[in-house]
Chains A and B, each alone.
Chain A
Amino acid sequence: MINKIKRWLPWAALIIALAAVPKVFGIYYMNFFITFAVFAVFSVSLNLLLGYTGLLSFGHAMYFGAGGYGTALALKYIWHLPLLPALSIGVLSAILLAMIVCPLVVRVGGTAFAMMHMAFAQLLYVIALKSRFITGGEDGLANFPIPPFSIPGVVSFTMEGAPSNFYFFAIIVLGASLWLMWFLTKTPFGQIQVGIRDNAKRIDYMGFKVTHAKAVVYIVSAAFAGVAGSVYAMFQNVVSPDGYLGLLVSFTPIINTMLGGIASFFGPVWGTAIYALIEEVIFRFTDRVELVVGIIFVLVIMYAPLGFSGLMLKLKFKWLMFKNKKMRQAV
């Protein structure tokens, strides 16, 4: 019983802390936190490919953008579309895009996989840029209505003009996404995933279909990138090619993941937090944020290739060794 309480206590504390954010910190940090949560989910979805399956994508923004544009277009052109269907349309468009691309990309790996994604993402970027009548071109889409969250006859929360309502909606959706992805890595299928990363040949010879498994991971990863993009579009109330489909958007989750550590599930979450904090601090001194982030990135690659969570693990190991030594000396 005590053990159970102990196990759930941190989670309860986390939920209370999250619920208290709007009251305690006010709107600026609330928005800061939503942005953080969006990019945390986006980065973790990339890490499903990079850290768990061993596939590096230079164009994960295409799914983020598909989610964002899908939701924005749906809200703009479909009259009185409720909130959850709008979210679903964003996610489904990311899934659809992934299903179109995956028969091609699951057959390759390494550099070909990475570069192919860069090409596809740039293709999508140009399409969004050029089809001005639908996507608004360079200006993107803005000021589409954000419908209230409502279960007919039960509840209805308005989203426009009530930032804390949107905050709760976003946190619940993104938190659930994180949990679902975490759960996936713990299932037998998650085992096949890491098996493919370590040795695809052996997985094949053990009776698992490698390409099928890769395709499933790929679509799941795309879906959650779509969730992140969709929520971000509703949060910002604007989508644009540069903000959703550009190269920088593809590289942000890679940088987050490398900073936080590809070897752990929550590494990208740490990485996103670190990146956001670094950005926040550096902005007070200089506009050249990328310069400083770049230097930090190089240092991380050189001295802590497993990122923040790898560093923590190392420290923990050192601490245990230290304690062990002390105990032995005492004896």
Chain B
Amino acid sequence: MNNILETKGLYHDFDGLQVLFDVNLQIREGECHAVIGPNGAGKTTLFNVITGTYKPSKGQVFFKGREITGMQPCDLCRLGIGRSFQITTTFSRLTTFQNLRMGILSKKGVRFNFFKRVDKMEEITRETDDLLRRINLMGERNFPVSALSYGKHRALEISLAMSTDPDLVLLDEFAAGMSRDETHNAVELIKKMTEGKTVVLIEHDMDVVFSLADRITVLHRGQILAVGTPQEIRQNQEVKDAYLGDLEVNAAC
């Protein structure tokens, strides 16, 4: 199986504070891969280094066999990497429709166009409406985003990451702060939206992790502790000691 994303010997430090030590992550094409670990393990930093927010202090990142170490987020997006954030990052004063249209515009390569009114681009409007229907936000089409409920706002955040139709989606704690129902809806949404795509997600909710992930990487103090299928991870003694504890984790959810 091909690795769509690979990191080789990745190190990162913030002014002397070492956060990542020799991380060798391998994401296979088409899988749903979860990165878990205690707070401060370096999960979000790993995402930031991969998606170009930070440059790694050492090591390389490969996407589809091509080196992307230190590339700008906008260039990575054009290569086919989408990302959602732990802190909701949407265009708060625009409507839901306008938010998603931004992604469709990017996907179609309509960037520096000064000659046509965006409202009159029927293809763009149609595709945006299709997307709105797929994510069940048609009823909120013309609401300013700041008026959406938390769950819907998070759903929009996830959809924004996917609106540019990337091959690889990185989701940073998408279920943080969601109620049980909202989490359930979000998981369904992700299952529906990511068919045929590769997904990497950071998550603390073990029910979500075990219901979505094909493989799991456990990060602990900036190092990879274990990699494996959910079954293997659950039985791994080291992981239990570091993170999961001895609680019985119920995967049937």
- Whether A191 is near chain B, meaning CB under 8 Å from some CB there, is yes
With contacts A204-B73, A206-B102, A206-B103 taken as known, whether A216 is within 8 angstroms of B112 at the C-beta atoms is yes
Instruction: Determine if A198 and B118 form an interchain contact, defined as CB atoms under 8 angstroms apart.
Output: no
- Whether A199 is near chain B, meaning CB under 8 Å from some CB there, is yes
Instruction: Determine if B160 and A194 form an interchain contact, defined as CB atoms under 8 angstroms apart.
Output: no
Q: Per-residue 0/1 for B46-59: is the Cβ within 8 Å of any A Cβ (1 yes, 0 no)?
A: 00000100000000
With contacts A189-B113, A199-B92 taken as known, whether A206 is within 8 angstroms of B118 at the C-beta atoms is no
Q: Report chain A residues within 8 Å CB of B93.
A: 194, 197-198
Q: Per-residue 0/1 for A189-225: is the Cβ within 8 Å of any B Cβ (1 yes, 0 no)?
A: 1111011011101111111111011001000000000
Q: Report chain A residues within 8 Å CB of B101.
A: 191
Q: Per-residue 0/1 for B75-110: is the Cβ within 8 Å of any A Cβ (1 yes, 0 no)?
A: 101100011010001111110001001110110001
The docked-state distance in angstroms from the alpha carbon of A244 to that of B229 is 70
- Whether A286 is near chain B, meaning CB under 8 Å from some CB there, is no
- Whether A183 is near chain B, meaning CB under 8 Å from some CB there, is yes
- Whether B7 is near chain A, meaning CB under 8 Å from some CB there, is no
Closest residue of chain A to B110, judged by CB?
A: A188
The docked-state distance in angstroms from the alpha carbon of A186 to that of B102 is 13
Closest residue of chain B to A191, judged by CB?
A: B118
The docked-state distance in angstroms from the alpha carbon of A23 to that of B94 is 44
The docked-state distance in angstroms from the alpha carbon of A186 to that of B114 is 9
Q: Report chain B residues within 8 Å CB of A192.
A: 102, 105, 111
CB-contact partner of B118 in A190, A197, A210, under 8 A: A190
Instruction: Determine if B112 and A189 form an interchain contact, defined as CB atoms under 8 angstroms apart.
Output: yes
Nearest CB of chain A from residue B111's CB, rounded to whole Å: 6
- Whether B183 is near chain A, meaning CB under 8 Å from some CB there, is no
CB-contact partner of A188 in B89, B90, B105, under 8 A: B105
The docked-state distance in angstroms from the alpha carbon of A187 to that of B129 is 19
- Whether B66 is near chain A, meaning CB under 8 Å from some CB there, is no
Instruction: Determine if A207 and B164 form an interchain contact, defined as CB atoms under 8 angstroms apart.
Output: yes
- Whether B180 is near chain A, meaning CB under 8 Å from some CB there, is no
Nearest CB of chain B from residue A184's CB, rounded to whole Å: 6
Instruction: Determine if B74 and A204 form an interchain contact, defined as CB atoms under 8 angstroms apart.
Output: yes
The docked-state distance in angstroms from the alpha carbon of A199 to that of B89 is 7
The docked-state distance in angstroms from the alpha carbon of A187 to that of B83 is 26
With contacts A183-B117, A201-B89, A205-B51 taken as known, whether A210 is within 8 angstroms of B74 at the C-beta atoms is yes
Instruction: Determine if A188 and B77 form an interchain contact, defined as CB atoms under 8 angstroms apart.
Output: no
With contacts A188-B110, A208-B106 taken as known, whether A202 is within 8 angstroms of B117 at the C-beta atoms is no
Q: Report chain A residues within 8 Å CB of B14.
A: none
The docked-state distance in angstroms from the alpha carbon of A192 to that of B105 is 10
Ranked 3 nearest A-B pairs via Cβ? A207-B77, A198-B91, A207-B106
- Of the A-B pairs whose beta carbons lie under 8 Å apart in the complex, a sample of 14, sorted by A's number, is A187-B116, A188-B110, A188-B118, A189-B111, A189-B113, A191-B101, A192-B102, A195-B102, A198-B94, A207-B74, A207-B75, A207-B78, A207-B106, A208-B106
Contacts A191-B102, A207-B78 given; 5 further ones with Cβ under 8 A? A183-B117, A186-B118, A189-B112, A201-B85, A202-B89
